[in-house]
C-alpha cells in the first residue's frame, strides 16, 4: 500500500480573538473541519507547531513548507510569520496550496485576489455548517491535484522554472515526520504514568542524545514539566 501524500496545515491553535472581536476556537476548526477534510481527500495531515509561528521560522517549518505535497493555510488572525511562511510556500510550490479564512477577517490587499474558502463560526467560536465546509475543503484539495498553478508567483510569471525537489530528500522528510510523531506519542504515554513519567522521560532523553536534529516542538515537549496538549501534532 502506497503511503498517503502529506498535507501541511498552517494555522493558529487554541482560542484566538479575530479582527471583529469575536473568538475563534482553532482546535475545533482543526478537529471538526480541517483534519476530516484532509482525510476525506486521501491525505495525511501535518500540523504546524505554535513555536514555528510565534518565534523564529525554524528549519522544520521550512522543510514542511517545501517538502509537503499539499499545504492548507488558515489565514484567520494570521501573524506576520504565517504570511511569511505562506509566501515561502508560494515561492517554491506552484500548486496544491489551499487557503481558508473566517468571515470578518480582512486580508492584506495583495492577498485579496487569492481564492479562499470561507467557513462560518458560531457564537462559541466553533465552526458551523461543518459538513458543507468539510466537503468544500476536501474538494479543493482533490481539485488541486490537477491544477496547473494556484500560487501567484508561478501563475503570473510565465515560464518560471519549478525548483527541483530531490525525491530521496522528500522520502527522508516523510520518515522524519513519522519518527517525530512516534516520539510525541511516547512522551504523551510517559506522562500518564504514576510518577509523571519521569524515568521514562529520562530514558527517552538519553536515547535521543544530541537533539540538534530533533524537531524543536518535540524537544520542548520533552523538557516541559507539563504535557502540552493539542490536536494532531506530529
Q: Nearest CA to 44 among 101, 1, 102? A: 1
C-alpha grid cell, residue 14: 487554541
55-113, pLDDT tens digit by residue?
455 677 777 788 888 999 999 988 788 888 888 888 888 888 999 998 877 777 767 67
84 CB-side CA count, 13 A: 12
Q: Is residue 234 part of a domain?
A: no
Q: Is residue 209 part of a domain?
A: yes
Q: What is the mean pLDDT of residues 191-205?
A: 67
Number of domains in the chain: 2
Average pLDDT in the chain: 76
Mark whether 95 and 138 lie in a shared domain.
yes
Q: For position 91, what pLDDT does the model report?
A: 84
Mark whether 50 and 150 lie in a shared domain.
yes
State how far the alpha carbon of 87 is from the alpha carbons of 41, 82, 104, 110, 152, in Å: 24, 9, 22, 11, 9
Q: Nearest CA to 231 among 11, 5, 4? A: 11
C-beta separation of 86 from 72 below 8 A: no
Mark whether 54 and 134 lie in a shared domain.
yes
Residue 186 has pLDDT above 60, yes or no: yes
Mark whether 85 and 20 lie in a shared domain.
yes
Mark whether 80 and 178 lie in a shared domain.
no
Q: Is residue 103 part of a domain?
A: yes
Q: Is 9 exposed, middle or buried, given 0-12, 13-18 or 19+ CB atoms closer than 10 A?
A: buried
C-alpha grid cell, residue 89: 510556500
Residue 184 has pLDDT above 70, yes or no: no
Q: Is residue 233 part of a domain?
A: no
Determine the Cα–Cα distance for residues 144 and 96; give it in Å rounded to an integer: 5
Q: What is the CATH number of the domain that holds 22?
A: 3.40.50.450
Q: Is residue 144 part of a domain?
A: yes
Determine the Cα–Cα distance for residues 144 and 158; give it in Å rounded to an integer: 19
Q: For position 234, what pLDDT does the model report?
A: 43
C-beta separation of 10 from 45 below 8 A: no
Q: For position 131, what pLDDT does the model report?
A: 95
Mark whether 190 and 152 lie in a shared domain.
no
Mark whether 10 and 50 lie in a shared domain.
yes
pLDDT band (50, 70, 90) for residue 21: confident
Mark whether 130 and 109 lie in a shared domain.
yes
C-beta separation of 72 from 7 below 8 A: yes
Q: How, if at all, do strands 120-121 and 127-128 pair?
A: antiparallel
Mark whether 150 and 200 lie in a shared domain.
no
Mark whether 104 and 184 lie in a shared domain.
no
Region of residue 71 (phi > 0: left; psi between -120 and 50: alpha; otherwise: beta):
beta
> Where among 134, 156, 178 does a domain terminate?
156
36 versus 80: the higher-pLDDT residue is 36
Q: Is residue 178 part of a domain?
A: yes
Mark whether 119 and 69 lie in a shared domain.
yes
Domain that includes residue 181, residue range = 167-223
Q: For position 209, what pLDDT does the model report?
A: 66
Q: Is residue 230 part of a domain?
A: no
Q: Is residue 161 part of a domain?
A: no
116-142, pLDDT tens digit by residue?
999 999 999 999 999 999 999 999 999
Mark whether 98 and 191 lie in a shared domain.
no
Amino acid at each position: 500500500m502506497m503511503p498517503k501524500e502529506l498535507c501541511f496545515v498552517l494555522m493558529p491553535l487554541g482560542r484566538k480573538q479575530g479582527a471583529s472581536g469575536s473568538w475563534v476556537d482553532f482546535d475545533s476548526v482543526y478537529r471538526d473541519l480541517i483534519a476530516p477534510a484532509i482525510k476525506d481527500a486521501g491525505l495525511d495531515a501535518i500540523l504546524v507547531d505554535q513555536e514555528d509561528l510565534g518565534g523564529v521560522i525554524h528549519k522544520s517549518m521550512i522543510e514542511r513548507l517545501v517538502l509537503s505535497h499539499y499545504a492548507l493555510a488558515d489565514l484567520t488572525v494570521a501573524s506576520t510569520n504565517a504570511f511569511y511562511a505562506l509566501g515561502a510556500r508560494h515561492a517554491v510550490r506552484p500548486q496544491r496550496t489551499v487557503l481558508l479564512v473566517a468571515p470578518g477577517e480582512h486580508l492584506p490587499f495583495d492577498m485579496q485576489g487569492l481564492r479562499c474558502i470561507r467557513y462560518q463560526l458560531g457564537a462559541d467560536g466553533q465552526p458551523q455548517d461543518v459538513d458543507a465546509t468539510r466537503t468544500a475543503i476536501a474538494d479543493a484539495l482533490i481539485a488541486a491535484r490537477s491544477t496547473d498553478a494556484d500560487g501567484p508567483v508561478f501563475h503570473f510569471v510565465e515560464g518560471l522554472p519549478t525548483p527541483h525537489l530531490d525525491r530521496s530528500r522528500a522520502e527522508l522528510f516523510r520518515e522524519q515526520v513519522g519518527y517525530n510523531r512516534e516520539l510525541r506519542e511516547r512522551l504523551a504515554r510517559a506522562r500518564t504514568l504514576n510518577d509523571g513519567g519521569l524515568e521514562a522521560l529520562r530514558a527517552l532523553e538519553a536515547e535521543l542524545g544530541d537533539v540538534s536534529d530533533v524537531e524543536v516542538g518535540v524537544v520542548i515537549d520533552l523538557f516541559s514539566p507539563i504535557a502540552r496538549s493539542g490536536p494532531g501534532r506530529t
